[in-house]
Amino acid sequence: MNNVPDDFGTSRICPRPVFCAFYKQELETLYRVSRVLGRSLDLQRTTHEVLELLHEEGHLHYGMICLVNDQTGELQTVDVHGGASPGAAYRSGEGIVGAVLAARDRIIVPRIADEPRFLDRLGVYDPDLPFIGVPIFYGAEETLGVLAAQPAIGERFLEDHAKLLEMIASLIAQTLHLSNSVEQEQSQLRSERDRLRRHVKQQHGFDRIVGDTPAMRIVFDQVRVVAKWNTTVLIRGESGTGKELVANAIHYNSPRSSAPFLKLNCAALPDNLLESELFGHEKGAFTGAAAMRKGRFEQADGGTLFLDEIGEISPAFQSKLLRVLQEGEFERVGGNRTLKVDVRIIAATNKDLEAAVVSGSFREDLYYRLNVMAIHMPALRERIDDIPELARFLVGQVAAKQGRDVVLTDSAIRLLMRHSWPGNVRELANCIERAAIMSQDGTIDRDAVVLSGIQDKGAGATAPRPLAAAPARSPEPGEPMPPRPAVVPGGGADAEADERERIIAALEEAGWVQAKAARLLDMTPRQIAYRVKILDIKMRRI
């Protein structure tokens, strides 16, 4: 006598070897099916192998898996073993398969020919043999599908075959549930990835580069053209002119926009660290290299690498960089395997590379390798007319950062346009942020700009100056206006311009209401009206 599990649980005595062999075969089939389903969450790739195991090991022929279509609610045949083509559909309650779906319970047909509900849409089943269908469902949720097959040994072991199919259906349900969960998470991640890509592209697109002067229009035209190609780009210009913004715009408007975009400031690292950072290193290549690490070139494969301050690298490292730019090949530090990558290079520098080539501090062949397409970023002092638009754009950024409304007055803009801006756009951005901090009500006027550290060179002073003394008596109505003061060489024009700026600033703050502006300047309405007239200030209507 042999001990075998009863209902795959408690032990009972097997009276005949044939029963022992049957149960052993069922356990082996169940084990192998579980391994097949555990290899992949893609049921489409595993169903054929599962049904083949049922046919060869479990003596369950013409296995069929039907899954519920989310759109129609019908059962759709996704796989059939034995030559029949899948595609048959069953409504809930239609035929034996539809009845299993409706009842959410197994149905055992001892002989197909005696069952009027059997539709035989696949045309493969033997009418003299049994048929078993079991539901595929997960927990208390709605039914996911139906698993069906035809036992090849008549009515013997029908209950045991049905239990085996139910256990396999349970494994299939778990695989489906896990696969659906993973697919939902992946779909959410893809949606989030696409949203972030759109956001990044918007943040680093052409809208971030502000300017409409002829010099900037040339830059825009060059960026739009070069972005479409894989050409190496060298962005030149003083520090703070926006070279990195141009690099961003080129990448995110190129065919490589969905690929990696990595950046490295070459001036920030010594040669040994720069080599490891760009080319990576093997485990044990140097003290502290506890594991293999990919460099920026490998990480940016298929995308773009932005090398800022390229003019600062040493002549010794220039030859190593030249090889990867020419051939796309390099070795990791401490390695001997040659790696090949496809990386677009965008470089930037504020140095005079031509002079560096002449002096011998920069390799001529590397210079020509980098200087394929050169884009020159003009200094801010070369595009003064862009300052109003730039300033308003930067004010919007500061307002978002501070979480309040920030307003830039015309008097502040006029003062900003008189500055030489040695620090370029970066200096302007810092000035705007400091002025916003100094302004309690969020209004950046001329005085706030002066307090931020910008000297009013056009007015000949570094801080607000008091108004000129008011006349002893203002003219009465009907009285002729006194002659306008003559411009005195050596400072009279500057004083008059300063007074005019002060009055315009007060009028702007007062909404061009003269009485309010007079109170701000500690003047009478008649006095400010006189100033407006003699200084030829054109009043605005708000």
What one-character DSSP code corresponds to residue 112?
Answer: G
Residue 454 lies in a domain: yes
Task: State whether 524 and 457 are in the same domain.
Answer: no
Three-state SS string across 389-429, please?
HHHHHHHHHHHHHHCCCCEECHHHHHHHHCCCCCCHHHHHH
Could you tell me which of 481, 486, 488 has the C-alpha nearest to residue 531? 481
Q: Give residues with Cβ within 8 angstroms of 119, minimum separation 6.
A: 90, 94, 95, 96
Query: Is residue 200 a part of any domain in this protein?
Result: no
Candidates 102, 74, 73; CA nearest to 88 is: 74
256 and 323 both lie in a single domain: yes
**Rounded Cα–Cα distance for residues 330 and 324 (Å):** 6
Q: Are residues 540 and 407 in the same domain?
A: no
Same-domain check for residues 250 and 325: yes
pLDDT score for 497: 64
C-alpha to C-alpha distance for 391 and 397, rounded to whole angstroms? 10
In a domain, 192, yes or no: no
Task: Choose one of 428, 445, 464: the last residue of a domain.
Answer: 464
421 shares its domain with 291: no
Where among 378, 406, 435 does a domain terminate? Answer: 378
List Cβ neighbours of 38 (8 Å cut-off, separation of 6 or more): none
Residue with tokens 């990919």: 294
Q: Which of 114, 148, 116 is nearest to 134 (CA)?
A: 148
423 part of a folded domain:
yes
Contacts of 76 (CB under 8 A, 6+ apart): 66, 67, 68, 69, 87, 89
| pLDDT at residue 16, as a whole number | 53
Domain end call among 437, 464, 491: 464
Number of domains in the chain: 4
Nearest Cα neighbor of 509 from 495, 494, 519 is: 519
* Residue range of the domain that includes 139: 2-181
Q: What is the CATH number of the domain that holds 479?
A: 1.10.10.60
According to the model, what pLDDT value does residue 357 have? Answer: 95
For the beta carbon of residue 37, count every other beta carbon within 10 angstroms.
21
Distance CA 392, CA 378 (A): 19
**Same domain, yes or no: 316 and 226:** yes
Instruction: Say what the pLDDT of residue 472 is.
Output: 38
State how far the alpha carbon of 413 is from the alpha carbons of 89, 388, 447, 507, 541, in Å.
72, 6, 11, 15, 20
- Are residue 365 and residue 398 in the same domain, yes or no? no
Same domain flag for 41 and 118: yes
Which residue's structure tokens are 């600062």?
Answer: 312
- Say if residue 165 is in the same domain as residue 261: no
Q: Indicate whether 187 belongs to any domain.
A: no
* Same structural domain, 363 and 394: no
Residues in the chain, pLDDT under 50: 1-2, 4-13, 459-491
Residues 489 and 441 in one domain: no
Of 168, 134, 171, 159, give the one whose Cα is nearest residue 19.
159
Neighbours of 198 (CB within 10 A): 10
Contact yes or no for 369/325 (Cβ under 8 A): yes
Domain-embedded: residue 388 = yes
Tens-digit pLDDT profile for residues 12-68: 445 555 556 666 777 777 778 788 777 777 777 777 888 888 888 877 888 888 888
Q: Give a yes or no: residue 128 inside a domain.
A: yes
- Alpha carbon distance 265, 310 (integer Å): 8
pLDDT at res. 154: 59
pLDDT at 464: 40
In this structure, are residues 79 and 48 in contact, taking their beta carbons and an 8 Å threshold?
A: yes
Residue 304 domain flag: yes
**pLDDT for res 501:** 80
- Cα distance between residue 140 and residue 128, in whole Å: 35
Tell me which DSSP letter residue 266 carries.
G
CATH number at residue 143: 3.30.450.40
Long-range CB pairs of 364-367, under 8 A, 24+ apart, other chains included: 365/322, 366/318, 366/319, 366/321, 366/322, 366/325
Radius of gyration of the chain (CA): 40
Q: Kindly report the CATH number assigned to the domain that includes residue 336.
A: 3.40.50.300
Task: Work out the number of other CB atoms within 10 angstroms of the CB of residue 406.
Answer: 22
Assess whether 415 and 397 both reside in one domain.
yes
CATH code for the domain of 438: 1.10.8.60
Buried b (16+ CB within 10 A) or exposed e, 71-84: eeebbbbebbbbeb
